[in-house]
A and B are shown apart, each in its own frame.
Chain A
Amino acid sequence: MTLHEALSRLLDGDLDPVAADALRTRIATEPDVARAWATMSGLPARIAGLSAFDSQSGAPPVGALPGRVLATSSSPQVSSARRPAFRYVPAVAVALAAGFALFVIVPKPTPQIVLGAGTSEVSGDVDVLVGDATIHVSGESSITVEPSPDHLRDARSEVQMDKSYLLAAFVGATLSLTVQAGTAVIQSPGKEPVTVTAGQTHREGPARPLTAAPGADPGADAAHIADLEQQLTGLKLQHAMEVAQLNSVNGTPQDFPADLPAGYKPAEFEKNIRDAIKGNPDVDVLSVNCDEYPCIAILRSSYAGDDWGQKLTDLGTSIRDKDYGENAGIHEDTELLRGPDGDVRVMAFATEPPVHQDENVEIRRSSRVKGLLDGIGDAEP
């Protein structure tokens, strides 16, 4: 134990009486120890004082939380069936700022909302932009956007996109608008505004046919095609960047190394796990996933004491120590999950030899563990 650890224990009364008396004597007689004690004894108050700066923590505004967190964030109110992705915003925003400022510039009178694919509930007095169409909502409306067959992005992607990109991607989308209260006015280029009132549904699209209208100006068509080609090139590049971004988060599938010791290979790994829980009535094997390297076992505990997580991790550590040795890497992730049949206490367990452990393996393993646990139930707070 270092001097400072001893001082910390003295502060909390965690030193035995003899050691405490000896340390107090040193504090009284040795200036360096007295200074260290002064710093130590002032620490709790100093740390507590950090709360004074919490109000300057830079917390994102309420409106920055996506709809799935808060049913809606601020007026105008929008709740979307699609799951927006908040977490990739910084990287994507930087990429977009760097490379795609050339995209459609959209005037943004307040308030405006840009929608992509899916159904959204919109309320308030707000302009909703979809592709090159504008819907002015006064009241409450439900708007469904179906991408055109020519749309250029994977609508399932969770990467949040720049609004101008979103608009470009949904030119030609089909809109379905149902007004629950008030009115909504759809304005598409080259068309008369359509007013939809409460109780009515209106379907429109594609907003901009890609075939030339009779009598269209060939020069304008050529410019339009050139514009679309430019967008297509940019969007393809953007797609590649999004794939790279997702790979950096979700990792890429890992093959089982050819020289992997037998214990880490699927058959023996599963045997080791099942052997280890024999005689332990509180634990069973929910699944063993060896689709990729490394194998991941999901162990379930029927024991619900406060230390259930510790017992599971102790079990995992004992498996590692017994079958793989203490130098093997170990990943143990305990979660209390809310499944369809009630609470489930689980641990994801994986082990890797040091020579086959790297950042790619770790990223991919973490992503797989998350997927496996999400498939069992929602995490309990």
Chain B
Amino acid sequence: MDPVVTRAAAGDVQAQAALVGREGPRLYALCRRLTDDPDDAYQEVWERVFRALPRYEVDGRPISAWIATIAHRHLVDRWRRGRVREEVPFDDDVAGDVIVVPSTRDLDEALAALPEPHRRVVLLHHLHGFSLDEIAVNESVALGTVKSRLHRARAALALALGATA
């Protein structure tokens, strides 16, 4: 196992700090793209990471992916806590309204305009390498729901980016 992770799991503060320094930028980027309060979410994710770190086992998955999984589940929890489910259809694997994303040349802007569940799927799949099955498990939703969100998100992005290309 990565010696920094081993020492961090044992409570070595310097190793924990090293882990934050190493993995922090990528984690913060995820929080920034998926919440409107990234500082708060970032802190909460690290709390969860260090609570769970003694149970981390190497199963072929790098620590960065393990941390991203914790972040994903936490961000889903945050989103659910802060929402009345009806505001964004949760079980939206049926055809729904087209998501309207303002035309833009900027991918970050177009992503920001997506509903949060759709943004999570497209970022975790394409940017963080999660399989759609993993995303479905982490979100406690059907695989079909995840696929539907991915396709609707990509359709909205392609429309927004293509319109000004």
Contact = CB atoms under 8 A, between A and B. Distances in A.
A11 B25 CA distance: 31
24 contacts: A7-B155, A40-B155, A40-B158, A44-B126, A47-B107, A50-B108, A54-B26, A54-B29, A62-B24, A65-B20, A70-B13, A70-B16, A70-B20, A86-B43, A87-B40, A313-B90, A329-B84, A330-B86, A333-B77, A334-B80, A352-B84, A369-B81, A381-B49, A381-B51
Given A47-B127, A54-B26, A60-B42, A381 B158 contact: no
B84 A357 contact: yes
A2 B52 CA distance: 43
A1 B155 CA distance: 10
A236 interface: no
A70 B46 contact: yes
A363 to B, nearest CB: 9
Contacts of B58: none
Given A12-B150, A87-B40, 8 more contacts: A62-B20, A71-B11, A313-B85, A334-B80, A379-B74, A380-B52, A381-B51, A381-B74
A332 interface: yes
Interface string B43-66: 100111111100000000000000
A89 B83 CA distance: 23
A7 to B, nearest CB: 7
Interface residues of A, number: 67
A312 B12 CA distance: 39
Where chain B touches its partner, the secondary structure class is: helix
Interface residues on chain B, size class:
35 or more
A366 interface: yes
A36 B162 contact: yes
Contacts, number: 166
A50 B13 CA distance: 31
The 7 A-B residue pairs whose C-beta atoms are closest, nearest first, are: A309-B140, A59-B28, A4-B155, A57-B29, A47-B126, A39-B162, A381-B70
Given A86-B40, A378-B51, A381-B74, A55 B25 contact: yes
A136 B70 CA distance: 40
A381 B155 contact: no
A331 B84 contact: yes
B155 to A, nearest CB: 3
Given A4-B154, A57-B25, A70-B46, A362 B13 contact: no
Contacts of A36: 158, 162
Nearest to B21: A62
A252 interface: no
Contacts of A331: 83-85
Interface stretch (A72-80, A97-105, A190-198, A269-277): A72-80
Contacts of B4: none
A26 interface: no
B27 interface: yes
Nearest to B141: A310
Interface in A365-381: 366, 369-370, 378-381
Contacts of A333: 77, 80-81
Nearest to B45: A381
B1 interface: no
A35 B159 CA distance: 11
Contacts of B156: 4
Interface string B113-156: 00000000011001100000000010011100001001110111
A84 to B, nearest CB: 10
Most A-side CB within 10 Å, residue of B111, B142, B156, B157: B157
B161 interface: yes
B29 A43 contact: no
B16 A71 contact: yes
Contact of A39 (B13, B26, B161): B161
Interface string A276-294: 0000000000000000000
A304 to B, nearest CB: 12
Contacts of A369: 81
Interface in A16-75: 35-36, 39-40, 43-44, 46-48, 50-51, 53-60, 62, 65-66, 68-74
A162 interface: no
B56 to A, nearest CB: 10
B158 A39 contact: yes
A307 interface: yes
A69 B47 contact: yes
A5 interface: yes
B39 interface: yes
Interface in A324-348: 329-335
